Chain A
Amino acid sequence: MLLGRTANGLYWMNRYIERAENMARLVDAGLRMALTRTQSASEEWNSVLLSAGSDVTFSQKYSDYTAANVADFLLRDTSNPSSTMSSIETARNNARMVRTALTRETWESINEAWMALKRMLARPIDERDLPSVLDAIKRETALIRGSFYGTMLRNEIFDFSQLGTYVERADNTARILDVKYYVLLPSISWVGSTLDNYQWESILRSVSAHRSYRWVYDADYKPTNIADYLILNVRMPRSLTFCYRFLSEHLKFLGDDYGERHACHATAEKTQTMLRAGSIKDIFDTGLHEFLAKFIRDNTKLGDEIAQDYRFN
């Protein structure tokens, strides 16, 4: 038995830990693009902001899409509720609230991550330090994940936490794809230009999959393979299918434990079945953008249903 408020806290704690890390990954990918192509760097930074869902709030504050501005906004700006600093702060506040549900190791790792990042992000980041700051963010969130997986009992507390992680991750991957869907569309020339290659690598890099892609597919980047990898590959830990495999599993555990199925079960299963049965060709045939837009809507709906079915508020 868990308080609805505690389940809510666990869910959001994990969404925000995931988000804190995703922001660092997006900046990392943007930085790479900006380093390799100086021509339209501001366009690249704009798509990074779109993927982060922060383009509107950014444009209210800045007019220049430079590395320094975007990195500052996405990593350390506390007026941006999704920045790494805001996310880790929100994650910690939630952790504080649900502290009795966490192992000491998990709580300490979150608290230490918060302390370390607060120190590191207290002042504007020098461009030369940006790579090491991004590494540090990923390391801190990896430590949280490590102590979480290593010490938490696999019970409802774990299930609600994982639901938060995978709803956020699925949303993140789908958004990254949707922002760049046009570069993945089949074009007249099937051989990618240098520019395309950079774009494709950037997509993979923003989900930390540029190396593992080569272990699964040919060394060459192909748009259909990239889309297949990020949407349908069941082994790739940030793919939509992977996320839904675990969402369904944890929802099933909860359903079995409580002896009750809810609307969220049906929603998750429907998406999972769709992903399992689908081929990348079908997805391209119906339209990649349409597919992703619907996925994002359904994923948001799943989050709302989980909150309602388990009395988060």
Chain B
Amino acid sequence: MAAFDEMLPEVSGLRRPYSAYDRWLKEQDPARLTEKMQDAERVFRKTGITFAVYGEQEASERLIPFDIVPRIISGNEWRRLTQGIEQRVQALNAFLDDIYHRQEILRAGRVPSELIARNEAFLPEMIGVRPPAGVYTHIIGVDIVRISEDEFYVLEDNARTPSGVSYMLENRETMMQLFPELFQKIKVRPVENYPQLLRQSLAAVRPQSTKGAPTIAVLTPGSFNSAYFEHAFLADQMGVQLVEGQDLRVVDGHVAMRTTEGYKQIDVLYRRVDDSYLDPLTFRPDSALGVPGIMDVYRAGNITIANAPGTGIADDKAIYSYMPEIIEFYTGRKAILGNIPTWRCSEPDSLKYVLEHIDELVIKEVHGSGGYGMLVGPAATKKECETFAKKLAAKPSNYIAQPTLALSTCPILTEKGLAPRHVDLRPYVLVSDRIQIVPGGLTRVALKEGSLVVNSSQGGGTKDTWVLDD
């Protein structure tokens, strides 16, 4: 299965967005490029940009590999993508508001009720609660794949706490340090203002009762969390406090942080802690990562939690398959960005098909993330397929299946020169009184030849993503 290469498609030769870069690349001494590649690794290691991978003891401070060939998107392609993303994000927020209030979409029979009621990501505690400014998902990462010149699909919506944006920023920073001359030659739209936009966006959705400038804080599970670097990075770049649960408590009906001068009120909390750990009084009682009583403060409208609790119901993989219906229901139009065809294994006909074609499909856990617990049929051995089929048959509703798509490729620099590798794209979307999409995103690349799994926890790397100002 020959995949579409974004730089050098076999049929049409060099694609336009890459023409200026290709000219520059041909003038470079290969030895110098190899040197730059090592420079990049040194820069990352020195600044401590590491990503802890669960289950790998030795690698508790592993770097995500970075490739120095940029992924380039033309202005036109980007405009199309942003229209589709905006529409999708509007629909996601409308869906969440509906699900936690009148549930029109269930009454209309477009989404089965049992999919919501039995779903762990659905929080009954959020029923009837309207978040400040009516925004549920303040920060979304939409995973997009491409399979040809014109075909883009949404692979997944990340509506809980999408990570990786710090890599988007650091990748750009690193590229600008390594190749300043490239940015003189080629007009690339900037992504550097993301932290400012995030801060403005969070400030815009502060509780109504906030007097003066809101106090914003980033809530992290702590310095041993795999994404701690990102939490610290974002707090630093926004100029706000990085807090842990142990710093916070409810004081006089507000959430407050313990400072060297006593307790200070927080108005907007950008939390990077999962729903179930957020409030031991409401959710998991054993959680030490959250704030006892924060949900009462939230329901009283005295704090903004971004993203709102309970948004996971919108990015659940079982709900994903209904996104075309959801988008049409709330926006009145067909989805601009398509879904990947998805079999819901909970449906007997689909299950039958999936079991028969297991070696051709990608099968995912409905609630899984990070590339764990999934099967890539064509890459799996017969035995792996059989073992997985047993798991699937035992609990069909726990799985969805999708065709193995020929994800587009983009070249990476290897010891033997350029070589195509599969990529995806995660643009970051900010929602407040408006929707903003930073021109760029995180391109994840499967470094192993032929591999389709781009997750950093499974050996994937990243690239700088350029949106051309053309």
Contact = CB atoms under 8 A, between A and B. Distances in A.
Interface string A136-171: 000000000000000000001000100000000000
B46 A111 contact: yes
A311 interface: yes
Interface in A14-42: none
A2 B261 CA distance: 8
Contacts of A111: 46-48
Interface in A170-227: none
B222 to A, nearest CB: 8
B261 A260 contact: yes
Given A96-B228, A99-B236, A311-B259, A1 B242 contact: no
Interface stretch (B154-162, B187-195, B243-251, B382-390): B243-251
B223 A7 contact: no
Contacts of B223: 93, 96-97
Contacts of B262: 311
Q: Which of A4, A7, A104, A254 gathers most chain B CB within 10 Å?
A: A4
Contact of A99 (B232, B257, B259): B232
B259 A3 contact: yes
B261 A5 contact: no
B47 A4 contact: no
Nearest to B240: A100
A156 B262 CA distance: 15
Contacts of A258: 260-261
B242 A100 contact: yes
A7 B260 CA distance: 7
A4 B247 contact: yes
A282 interface: no
Contacts of B246: 5
A108 interface: yes
Given A97-B223, A111-B46, A112-B46, A4 B232 contact: no
A302 B236 CA distance: 31
A229 interface: no
B101 interface: no
Interface in B413-467: none
Contacts of A260: 261
Contacts of B236: 99-100
A259 to B, nearest CB: 9
Contact of B232 (A100, A156, A310): A100
A4 B258 contact: yes
B46 A5 contact: no
Given A99-B232, A100-B236, A100-B242, A5 B47 contact: no
Nearest to A92: B48
B241 A3 contact: yes
A108 B259 CA distance: 26
A7 B222 CA distance: 16
Nearest to A114: B48
A2 B46 contact: no
Nearest to A1: B259
A107 interface: yes
A81 B243 CA distance: 27
B170 to A, nearest CB: 12
B177 to A, nearest CB: 13
Interface size class of B (residues with CB under 8 A): 20 to 34
B47 A156 contact: no
B264 interface: yes
Interface range for A: 20 to 34
Given A96-B228, A99-B236, A100-B232, A4 B46 contact: no
Interface in A88-147: 93, 96-97, 99-100, 104, 107-108, 111-112, 115
A115 to B, nearest CB: 8
Interface string B225-237: 0001000100110
Contacts of A107: 47-48
A251 to B, nearest CB: 12
Contact of A156 (B243, B260, B264): B260
A112 B45 CA distance: 9
Nearest to A102: B236
A104 B260 contact: no
Contact of B259 (A2, A104, A160): A2
B112 to A, nearest CB: 45
A93 B45 CA distance: 16
A89 to B, nearest CB: 12
A4 B264 CA distance: 11
Nearest to B48: A111
A7 B241 CA distance: 12
B188 to A, nearest CB: 24
Most chain B CB within a 10 A radius of its CB, from A2, A100, A104, A311: A100
A100 B48 CA distance: 13
Contacts of A108: 46-48
A97 B235 CA distance: 12
A3 B257 contact: yes
Contacts of B261: 1, 258, 260
A99, A104, A107 pick with most chain B CB within 10 angstroms: A99
A112 B43 CA distance: 11
Given A97-B223, A100-B236, A258-B261, A3 B48 contact: no
Given A5-B246, A111-B46, A311 B228 contact: no
**Chain A to chain B: the 6 pairs with minimum beta-carbon distance, closest first:** A100-B236, A310-B260, A99-B232, A4-B258, A97-B223, A96-B223
10 contacts: A3-B243, A5-B247, A96-B228, A99-B242, A100-B235, A115-B45, A156-B260, A258-B260, A310-B260, A311-B262
Interface of A: 1-5, 7, 93, 96-97, 99-100, 104, 107-108, 111-112, 115, 156, 160, 254, 258, 260, 310-311
Interface of B: 45-48, 222-223, 228, 232, 235-236, 241-244, 246-247, 257-262, 264
Given A3-B241, A99-B236, 16 more contacts: A3-B243, A3-B258, A3-B260, A4-B247, A4-B259, A96-B223, A96-B228, A99-B242, A100-B241, A100-B242, A108-B47, A111-B46, A156-B260, A258-B261, A311-B258, A311-B260
